[in-house]
A and B are shown apart, each in its own frame.
Chain A
Amino acid sequence: MEAEWAKYIGAGIATLGMAGAALGVSSIFSNFLQGALRNPSAAASQTGNLIFGFAVTEALGIFSFLVALILLFVV
């Protein structure tokens, strides 16, 4: 197999990591909504935590994007 092909296949496989980030981010938002609908008065004070959890989880998806970029442009 040509090395050039393997690069593109690898970059494509690396994007699968985003599925994990999607599961994580969706779980954060759905659980936040569940909690917020049960106790709306406490929801406003937790948006900071929501954004923080979102950012930390999303970073892992960004890492897989980075792996794809490195495979495409650096390797």
Chain B
Amino acid sequence: MAGTDPIHQFVISDIFTVFRMGGDGTEGSGLNFAFTNSALFMVATVVAVSAYMLLSSSQRSLVPNRLQMTSEMLYEFIANMLRSSAGSEGMRFFPFVFSLFIFILVGNLLGLVPYFFTFTSHIIVTFALAMLVILVVTIYGLMRHGLGFFKLFAPSGVPGYVLPIVIPIEIVSFLSRPISLSVRLFGNILAGHITLKVFTGFVVTMGAAGWLGWLGALLPLTMGVALTALEFLVAAVQAYVFAVLTSMYLNDAVHPSH
């Protein structure tokens, strides 16, 4: 069943162990710091992005060639998005937002290659990224505005008698941000990959039923092709959404009183 099992693609396997800590030597005891296939694809993503950025910006000509053009368009795209949602003050976070965007985008796209591992389909990875964003927002907001950061919970222009209702809602929405930010990316990628494998798994099971099965297998095969196209859209949209939400949260840190 391993060939058609839709969950099998998310299994994390150790490539080599860096070191072990604690435990009594038996399997599964203590901490095992291993270089996993997840880590391998994160490294591959970083290497691919760095190589692309270095290669495309190595010439730095006034009239850009095609490669330089693509990276400039990517830069402009994120820079415009960040400027429009967090203002020119928010632009100091541009390297942060751009790194997050391109890391998630390339990770998602790499994961769509057959037999490749998708590290964004693991909640711990997306949760770590989301917590990074929330900690940056909270720490920067407190450093920059001190206790004035808490004006975030009382939007300006709200009449005083509504505040007892609005403030708890704002606090709950602030606390649920890391969950919604991480689960959105994780859930989309996980659901997409499971759907893709379930539909293409039908091809295998129907193909085993003889020539009539092969004819019937055309339907799930077509669906698989269409779903792959949809997954490319989802991969790009989710990376964009993560970047948009990051810059909106950064806007709260830069201008807490809305």
Contacts and interface: CB of A to CB of B under 8 A. Distances in A.
Interface of A: 48, 51-52, 54-55, 58-59, 62-63, 65-66, 69
A59 B84 contact: no
B237 interface: yes
A39 B224 CA distance: 37
Interface stretch (B62-70, B86-94, B181-189, B207-215): B181-189
Chain B's interface size range is 10 to 19
Contact of B191 (A48, A51, A59, A65): A65
Which of A52, A62, A65 has the largest count of B CB atoms less than 10 A from its CB? A62
Interface in B167-224: 180, 183-184, 187-188, 190-191
Contacts of B131: none
Contact of B183 (A48, A52, A54, A62): A62
B54 to A, nearest CB: 29
B11 to A, nearest CB: 13
Contacts of B190: 69
B245 interface: yes
Given A55-B238, A62-B188, 14 more contacts: A48-B244, A51-B237, A51-B240, A51-B241, A51-B244, A52-B241, A52-B245, A54-B237, A55-B241, A55-B244, A59-B187, A62-B184, A63-B183, A69-B190
Given A48-B81, A55-B184, A62 B245 contact: no
A48 B187 CA distance: 21
Given A48-B81, A48-B84, A48-B244, A59 B237 contact: no
14 contacts: A48-B244, A51-B237, A51-B244, A52-B244, A54-B237, A55-B184, A55-B244, A58-B188, A59-B184, A62-B188, A63-B183, A63-B187, A65-B187, A66-B183
